[in-house]
Structure 1
Amino acid sequence: MNSTQSKECLQGVRSLQNANCVVMVPPKEFRYNAETAQDNEFQHKVELSEQQVRDNAMAEFKSMVVSLREEGVQVVEFDYPVSEKETPDAVFPNNWFSTTPTGELFVFPMACQNRQLEVRPEALVKSLSNSGRKVTSNSSLVSFVENDAYLESTGVMVMDHVNRIIYAALSHRCDREVLEEYAQRVGYERVISFQTGLPSGQPIYHTNVMMAVGESFCVICDELIPEFERRFVLKSLAKDKQVISISLEQMNQFCGNILQLENANGDKLIAMSLSAFNAFTTVQKSQLSTHGKLLPFDVSTIENIGGGSVRCMLGEVFLPRG
């Protein structure tokens, strides 16, 4: 399916912002990843043994899966065979694939070599099919790796599906050329890319750590964006969304790494970590609650060591049933 056809198909589902199905990957090889730590300032080493780390991470994962299913969200557990080379960050599947309501599966170029091993599209298609979700076409941007150009899916792209806008903080993991190529393929009308600056002087490694977009709200740590770009980003978001600004300290507790979902009945839910929930102010929680039931999950081991939180653990599935 070309971009024009994809765009035409999406005309009928413009209001679909939230997935009611997600892919989650068990953290059976989870550990501190030295490769990704080179530009992910959210990762931390701990004194626990690797087995203790994995046991804790697996308990957090299982609890989250159970809770989401109890809330009526379909969870596809995508397991995989262990190979000689470990994939310590496999618990964050949203970085290597995305799906569309028209049945397309996109796979993306990952920046770190041990994360490139996570990309298993054939196995994922089979798992999705077994769960009643139909992939009608495949599209890959993985070849950009040969040019040292990367685009880590919905880690670096925060999607406004209603308005067909992609928000993206440019970085080593978010190449402008690949970003524009994806937008063209998927038929999205606008790409709003921008620079960011952490106190260290480095850019944010993933956009979805600093911002989230829901159907009628957004959360954003806008102080990271240079002023001349910040105004443009906020103006675009404020056109039809309630803008909830978070501080750098709140972002460091993963308040930006949240995701609005729907259950089988169409009820709105907002998944977040317990640390994020505790860091939001009372006013912000009240604001967010108007957009969905708040679902805090304790994933402290995963977010402290892996540098990603609840949103990173959820690969949205917009595929049709089939």
Structure 2
Amino acid sequence: MSILQAPRAVVMIRPHHFRSNPDTQADNAFQTATSQPEQVRNLALKEFNTAVTQLRTAGVTVHVFDDETQDTPDSVFPNNWFSTHAGGHIAIFPMFASNRRQERRWDVIETLKQRYRVQDVIDYSGLEEDGLALEGTGAMVLDHIGRIAYTVKSNRADPVLLERFCTHFNYEPMAFEARDANGRDIYHSNVLMGIGTEFALICLSMITDPSRRGEIAKRLEETGRNVIDLSQDQIANFAGNCFELTGNDRLLALSARALDALTPTQVAAIEQSARLLPISIPTLETAGGSVRCMLAGIHLSPRERTML
């Protein structure tokens, strides 16, 4: 089974002080303000722990790190500050919101170096001082097979930095504009689309330029994907924020809310090559992200034959 697109391992950050981040609410239309902070924290922890159990039961290796600080409300979404790549490469990314910059943890990177073969770490985070951001696999949805970085243009995806990343990591950048029905910019590419080994979920109608829309659909098809077109309502329910993984079999991890939004035809198309793994995280989704955002995929070779 090819695991190029669907990694066997992920990093997850357990949030002990989860809350909706006021510093990101202005440009994240998916975010919902929360009250009753203690209840929210407890529910978030319960949802997180259940998600870890589900993934491990499905055969996915999950490396869990605890975040007990109170200044990083979005730390449960680590895929924004680092990414890993076949051949032993790691990228560290600059973040748009200042309080999200505190999520970067070198103990996570050091653990990856100990357990996996890491050749180099390219750190772009210093570019925050120049007002540049490129928020990892939130800003970019990476086709590891076709070597394409699909990227919605936003303040969280600087075009110059995108070009630099793509040059370093050998991806072709495909940047485009996308907006919802109310004309609001899509803040992260991974709420608009998700790419599996044999299929791609995407809301084509949100891509504002019709010619670019056609180009993106064509590129996805050229790389062998069955393009499953999502509606804007399905995107609002996080149906695009999914992540293909390899466990005991090939899985598509997504939220229970996202699965409920899919049609029977769409479910059948996905199940031709991947088993659906719905995870219920309604509290965590109030932060404006879903299951994909919680999972930082590990596309590295383990040092030991048996992974820890």
What TM-score, normalized by structure 2, do the two folds share?
0.94
Give distance in 2, aligned partners of 1:65 and 1:133. 20
Q: Write the letter of the residue equivalent to 2:170.
A: G
Task: Name the count of aligned residue pairs.
Answer: 300
Cross-structure match for 1:114: 99
1:313 maps to 294
Are 1:141 and 2:124 matched, yes or no?
A: yes
Contact 2:15 2:67 in 1 (8 A): no
Please state how far the C-alpha of 1:15 moved relative to its aligned partner.
Answer: 6.8
TM-score normalized by the length of structure 1 = 0.90
5+ residue gaps, structure 1, are: 1-13
User: 2:306 — aligned with what?
Assistant: none
Determine which of 106, 124, 135 is the counterpart of 2:108.
Answer: 124
1:125–1:135 Cα contact (<8 Å) kept: no
Q: Within 5 Å, give how 1:278-317 maps onto structure 2.
A: 278-303=260-285, 305-317=286-298
Q: Secondary structure at the match of 1:300?
A: coil
SS at match of 2:14: coil
2:135 touches 2:157 (CA, 8 Å); kept in 1? yes
Q: 1:241 to 1:141 in 2, by over 3 A?
A: same
**Residue 40 of structure 1 contacts residue 307 of structure 1 at CA under 8 Å; is this kept in 2?**
yes
Aligned partner letter, 2:28: N
Deviation of residue 311 (structure 1)? 0.4
Alignment of 1:270 with 2:274, yes or no, is no
Distance (Å, rounded) in 1 between the aligned partners of 2:259 and 2:179: 25
Give yes or no for the alignment of 1:93 onto 2:78.
yes
Residue 254 of structure 1 is matched in structure 2 by 238
Q: Tell me, yes or no, if structure 1 residue 206 matches structure 2 residue 193.
A: no
Tell me what 1:192 maps to.
Answer: 174
Amino acid at match of 1:170: K
Q: Structure 1 residue 32 and structure 2 residue 20: aligned?
A: yes
Which ranges of structure 2 fall in alignment gaps of 5 or more residues? 304-308
Distance 1:26 1:77 in 2: 7
2:207 to 219, 225, 240: 225
Contact 2:139 2:188 in 1 (8 A): yes
- What is the distance in 2 between the residues matched to 1:272 and 1:175? 27
Q: Aligned partner of 1:291: which letter?
A: S
| RMSD (CA atoms) | 1.4
Q: What residue is the counterpart of 1:79 in the other structure?
A: 66
Q: Which runs of 4+ in 1 moved over 3 A?
A: none
Q: In 1, Cα distance between the equivalents of 2:257 and 2:133? A: 30
Residue 81 of structure 1, CA deviation: 5.1
Paired residue type of 1:138: V
